Amino acid sequence: VGEELKEKGYGGIYNVGKGATHPPRLVIMTYDPPKDVLTEEDEEQSAITLVGKGIVYDTGGLAIKSRVGMCGMKHDMGGAAGVLGGFTAAVRLRTPRKIRLMLCLAENAIGPKSVRNDDIITQYSGKTVEINNSDAEGRLVLSDAVAHATKHFDDSDLVVDMATLTGAQLVSTGKMHAAILTNKEELEHTAVKAGLTSGDLCYPLLYAPELLKKEFNSKVADMKNSVKDRSNAQCSCAGHFIESHIDSDYIERDGGWLHVDMAGPGTKAERGTGYGVGLVLSLVGAAGFSSRN
């Protein structure tokens, strides 16, 4: 919480939320399934880690949003709400798989302590980021959590992050389908199938980090937090920013990562839709959402 995040190296979450009245938080929960629901096959499954963007209100920070653009930003915690709802339901359904939940909670507020464009911050991964857009804050908080998960959770072979991350998602995959980005082709197919099973539809983005990482080039840090060319696969770029903070040992042991940008399907008619709950339940194999049910 608050200054503790700074002391422990969570520079993304801390700097995004430090200007608000209520301090930022990183919430971590773990569900261990009851022994009586586990089969031998279940016991061999690795844990799954769910990460949610919980920006409880987004003014854009010092790169302030417009009068019209700021309205509705109470929904910028939709990713955290989705994974929390899915986690809670999975626990109540006694799902036979270990699940971890990480909620990145902050308000991107305006004040004398707010992070500034041109600031350089250090993320939990150890990488430095030049802030060139304080309104590209979601990727900063998610990167800290993904770095933590892939560094410390040795029993997890899948990290799923969910967020209302970019307006570009609606251009890429529309209002009904979330956009997904993943480092494994088979995981891409699994996610699409999970969407069809649950009704939380999703569709793949271009995956090309070797072509897109140059969009974040910085002269003074490891990277900037916002792209140079907004017309160059912007939604994919945002996901690749998060991916760049995955721990290298996790990649070496062939760990999976799935990014879900649900800015479009997360709201309808100025209300939250509950998107993400069903998708999570299908991904974790909960009763009624699993192919073996």
Distance CA(198)–CA(184), nearest Å, equals 21
Catalytic, 271? Answer no
User: 71 — alpha (psi -120 to 50), left (phi > 0) or beta?
Assistant: beta
Distance CA(173)–CA(261), nearest Å, equals 10
Q: With contact defined as beta carbons under 8 Å apart, do 206 and 175 qualify?
A: no
- Rg, the chain, Cα only: 18
Predicted TM-score (pTM) of the model is 0.96
Q: Which of 18, 53, 97, 139 is catalytic?
A: 139
DSSP secondary structure of 112-156: TTS--TT-EEE-TTS-EEE-S-TT--HHHHHHHHHHHHHHH-TTE
Higher pLDDT: 273 or 37? It is 273
Distance CA(137)–CA(141), nearest Å, equals 7
The two three-digit tokens of residue 157, written as one number: 């072979």
Q: With b meaning 16 or more CB within 10 Å and e meaning fewer, what string describes 67-95?
A: eeeeeebebbbbbbbbbbbbbebbbeeeb
| Residue-wise pLDDT tens digits, 133-188 | 999 999 999 999 999 999 999 999 999 999 999 999 999 999 999 999 999 999 99
Catalytic, 213? Answer no
| Residue-wise pLDDT tens digits, 28-54 | 999 999 999 888 888 888 999 999 999
pLDDT of residue 44: 81
Q: Which of 65, 74, 94, 213 is catalytic?
A: 65
Query: What residue has token string 């770095």?
Result: 147
Residue 291 has pLDDT above 80, yes or no: no
